[in-house]
Amino acid sequence: MGKKKSAPQTKDPDDKKGKGKLKPANSILVRHILCEKHAKIMEAMKELKEEKVPFNKVAEKYSEDKAKAGGSLGWMNRGSMVGTFQDAAFALEPSTVTSPNYTDPPVKTNFGYHIIMVEGRK
């Protein structure tokens, strides 16, 4: 139930010094909530944290991205995402929309603020 931070201490996904929970992956099944304004992304974060609303429902309500339908971006390959988004996404353990592990605090990119979760790795 604990949430992941967006800047884990282990930056290299192949680094074995960590707890060894995550195996190296080349692609991830990712969802996100994107908001241009910090205040709006924090409203979304509050619904996830305090009200326990499923991730896909919060994405439908708040996300300003074309992936608004549940926030799904589908399978994304390493190298196809913006640096800070990719680093945060590949550091997350897979979870479900009803019990998500997500980036907290939100990740800032040139597109805005993202709350990211991962459903699968391969």
Domain-wise residue ranges, the chain = 27-121
pLDDT at 85: 98
pLDDT at 46: 98
Q: How would you classify residue 43: left for phi > 0, otherwise alpha for psi between -120 and 50, otherwise beta?
A: alpha
Hey, what CATH class is 27-121 in?
A: alpha beta
Asked if 118 and 93 count as a contact pair (C-beta separation under 8 A), the reply is: yes
Given a contact cutoff of 8 angstroms between Cβ atoms, the answer to whether 85 and 6 are in contact is no
* Predicted local distance difference test score (pLDDT) of residue 23: 78
Complete DSSP assignment for 73-106: EEEEETTSS-HHHHHHHHHSPP-BTTB--BBSSP
Q: Which residues of the chain have pLDDT under 50?
A: 1-18
**Residue 115 tokens, joined:** 């709350």
